């Protein structure tokens, strides 16, 4: 094996593998270091997202929703099903097959693009040197690169009041591997991960209690959208308790007792399983030598500029290691950007048009500013909100909960934010992303012809509603 490369990427997740492939496409001799061993005992690319995050969780979300529909919704369509049963082993088998298909596909892409996959751990030394320690027995080797891209990702945060314990107290990875449906499931954290995993097991029959320390539900989400989301999820059976700060946990036998404080004082609940989903932290601990020249902030994120350059010349950092939302698509685009910057091209990620999604049902998705943020800035603005209940396609599908909302600059007519809770929100929000990326006005969307019947008509109606022009909902003009 050569010990010199044009580019060495440390980390084979969405950001790392995309960076490696794009570097290779641009003619750079590229190596990607990845240490992950999958549950089958084999080396695996794809990082957290493909192996124990985005992809397996969506597989379980889809499987559990199909079961929920069969049990609770198909009769409305005239589809009569005997009492459905869930085969958890088959559900997990399918999930694992999806993961293996996608992670194996990245390996094939590496071969096709002539990316060298180094299976082991990487550590940045000074002078763009990388210490590579193979997974298999063998001595560490020092590699040299013209450029290094740090893409090691993040890991779940552990908390002292609820230490992980076997399959009883688990993080997000463990929550993907339950072999049976717990009768009572506790979830610490009402963020994206907690809500998605809680939804999976609630649909399959678990009594789910979500404990969230802060008093506000989904504080990063537009208030109108978060209120609607909370209402819908509670109706689905999720017991979401806000202002509930966990103070301790105790495992006895096969039960977990969780102590917490809320507005009424000390409380406790007993669960069969407990998921700890309080966020993630960057994997910078063993990634950098002391003389690597890379600066960290107070939370151990790597400091970078707008094109992901670190303080060390020729060294870049992307994805969950750096500022911004911990999103796979953000990491991937940063990886592509860095590869092109290295190759001498001028590329820039527009961080103002990165959408976020929560894959509950209905989905929640947003891009840009919330109404609260715009209001606080003092800018003159207008909003348009239309419910899916006014949409023919949503009603025909029996999936009409939620709404689409636009926040628009009243002076320039530019779209400041788009917020959706409802069916296919993850797809619909991309219409707002495209509009904002091209600097469209809300009038541009108003003048477009949308297919009928389609869920996206709600996007059109919400755009029209910003100027009191919506056809299919009654609107009152707000007082100036």
Of 346, 361, 419, 452, the active-site residue reads 452
Kindly tell me if the per-residue pLDDT of 398 is higher than 70: yes
Question: pLDDT (tens digit, 9 = 90+) per residue, 131-144?
Answer: 999 998 889 999 99
Kindly tell me if the per-residue pLDDT of 22 is higher than 80: yes
Kindly tell me if the per-residue pLDDT of 478 is higher than 80: no
pLDDT recorded at residue 223: 98
Question: pLDDT (tens digit, 9 = 90+) per residue, 371-396?
Answer: 999 999 999 999 999 999 999 999 99
pLDDT (average), residues 429-436: 98
Question: pLDDT (tens digit, 9 = 90+) per residue, 326-363?
Answer: 999 999 999 999 999 999 999 999 999 999 999 999 99
Q: Is 452 a catalytic residue?
A: yes
367: number of Cβ within 10 Å: 25
Average pLDDT of the chain is: 97
Question: For the chain, which domains are there?
Answer: 4-156+281-349 (3.50.50.60), 169-278 (3.50.50.60), 353-465 (3.30.390.30)
Q: How confident is the model at residue 477 (pLDDT cuts 50, 70, 90)?
A: confident
Range in 130-139, 241-250, 308-317, 414-423 with the lowest mean pLDDT: 130-139
Question: pLDDT (tens digit, 9 = 90+) per residue, 220-260?
Answer: 999 999 999 999 999 999 999 999 999 999 999 999 999 99
pLDDT recorded at residue 480: 54
pLDDT recorded at residue 2: 78
pLDDT recorded at residue 49: 97
pLDDT (average), residues 49-69: 98
Q: How confident is the model at residue 1 (pLDDT cuts 50, 70, 90)?
A: low
pLDDT recorded at residue 370: 98
């Amino acid at each position: 094996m050569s010990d010199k490369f044009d580019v060495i990427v440390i980390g084979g997740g969405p950001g790392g593998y995309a960076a490696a492939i794009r570097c290779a496409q641009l003619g750079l001799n590229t190596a990607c270091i990845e240490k992950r061993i999958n549950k089958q005992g084999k080396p695996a690319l794809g990082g957290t997202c493909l192996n124990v995050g985005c992809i397996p969780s969506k597989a379980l979300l889809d499987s559990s929703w199909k079961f929920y529909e069969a049990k609770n919704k198909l009769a409305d369509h005239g589809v009569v099903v005997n009492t459905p049963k869930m085969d958890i082993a088959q559900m997990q088998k399918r999930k694992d097959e999806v993961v293996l298909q996608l992670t194996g596909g990245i390996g094939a892409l590496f071969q096709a693009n002539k990316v060298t996959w180094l299976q082991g751990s990487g550590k940045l030394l000074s002078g763009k040197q990388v210490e590579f320690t193979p997974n298999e027995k063998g001595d560490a080797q020092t590699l040299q690169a013209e450029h290094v891209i740090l893409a090691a990702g993040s890991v779940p945060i552990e908390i002292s009041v609820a230490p992980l314990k076997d399959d009883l107290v688990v993080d997000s990875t463990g929550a993907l591997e339950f072999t049976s449906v717990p009768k009572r499931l506790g979830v610490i954290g009402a963020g994206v991960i907690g809500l998605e995993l809680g939804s999976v097991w609630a649909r399959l029959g678990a009594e789910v209690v979500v404990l969230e320390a802060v008093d506000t539900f989904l504080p990063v989400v537009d208030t109108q959208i978060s209120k609607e989301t909370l209402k819908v999820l509670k109706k689905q059976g999720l017991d979401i308790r806000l202002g509930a700060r966990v103070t301790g946990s105790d495992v006895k036998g096969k039960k977990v007792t969780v102590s917490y404080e809320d507005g009424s004082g000390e409380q406790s609940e007993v669960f069969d399983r407990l998921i700890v989903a309080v966020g993630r932290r960057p994997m910078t601990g063993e990634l950098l030598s002391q003389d690597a020249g890379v600066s960290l902030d107070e939370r151990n994120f790597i400091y970078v500029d707008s094109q992901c350059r670190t303080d060390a010349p020729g060294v870049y950092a992307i994805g969950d290691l750096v500022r911004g939302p911990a999103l796979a698509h953000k990491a991937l685009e940063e990886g592509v950007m860095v590869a092109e910057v290295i190759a001498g091209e001028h590329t820039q990620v527009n961080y103002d048009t990165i959408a976020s999604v929560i894959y509950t049902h209905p989905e929640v998705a947003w891009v840009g500013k919330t109404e609260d943020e715009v209001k606080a800035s003092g800018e003159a603005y207008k909003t348009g909100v239309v419910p899916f209940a006014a949409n023919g396609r949503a009603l025909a599908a029996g999936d009409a909960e939620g709404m689409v909302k636009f926040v628009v600059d009243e002076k320039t007519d530019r779209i400041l934010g788009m917020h959706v809770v409802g069916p296919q929100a993850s797809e619909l929000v991309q219409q707002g992303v495209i509009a904002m990326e091209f600097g469209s006005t809300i009038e541009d969307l108003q003048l477009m012809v949308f297919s009928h019947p389609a869920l996206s008509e709600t996007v059109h109606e919400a755009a029209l509603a910003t100027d009191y022009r919506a056809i299919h909902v009654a609107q009152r003009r707000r007082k100036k």
